[in-house]
Structure 1
Amino acid sequence: MVKKGNVVMQKYEFGRLLGQGNFGKVYYGRDLERGQAVAIKVIDKEKVQKSELTEQTKREISIMAMVKHPHVVQLYEVMATKSKIYFVIEQAMGGELFNKLTKGRLKEDAARKLFQQLINAVEFCHSRGVYHRDLKPENLLLDENGNLKVLDFGLSALAESKRQDGLLYTTCGTPAYVAPEVICRKGYDGVKADIWSCGVILFVLLAGYLPFYDSNLIYLYRKICKAEYKCPNWFPLEVRKLLSRIFDPNPHKRISIAKIKASSWFKKGLGSKQVVNQNVIADGDAVSSSNNTKLELIKPASISAFDIICWFNLSGLFINDDQKEELRFTSVKPVPVIISKLVEVGKSLNLEVKKKEVGFLMLEGFNESRYETVCIGVQIFEISESRYFIELSRSSGDAIDYQNMLTLTIRPALEEIVQAWQGLQSHQQSLK
Structure 2
Amino acid sequence: MTASPDAQTPSSEVAQAETPAPAETAAHRDEERAEGGAAAWTATPESPEGPEGATPGLPYGMPGKPLSRGPFLFGLVGGLGVLTAIAIGQLITSSLSVIILIVVAMFLAAGLNPAVEALQRRGMKRRTSISIVFAGVIVMFVLFGLAIVPPVSQESADFIAAVPGYFDQLTANPTLRQLDSDYQLLPKLAAFVTDTLAPSLASGVVGAGLVVLDGVFTGVTLLVLMLYFLGSLHTIKEYFLKLVPASRRSRTAAITEEILTGIGGYVAGNVLISVIAGALSWAFLTFAGARYALALALVIALTDLIPLVGATIGAVLVSGVAFLQSVPLGIACAIFFVIYQQVENYLIYPRVMKRSVDVAPAVTVIAALFGGALLGIVGALLAIPVAAAIALIIREVVLPRQARS
TM above 0.5, yes or no, is no
As a proportion of its length, which structure holds more strand? 1
TM-score scaled to structure 1, two decimals?
Answer: 0.18
**Structure number, greater radius of gyration:** 2
> Which structure exhibits the higher relative contact order, with contacts defined as CA atoms closer than 8 Å and separated by 6 or more residues?
2
As a proportion of its length, which structure holds more helix? 2
TM-score scaled to structure 2, two decimals?
Answer: 0.19
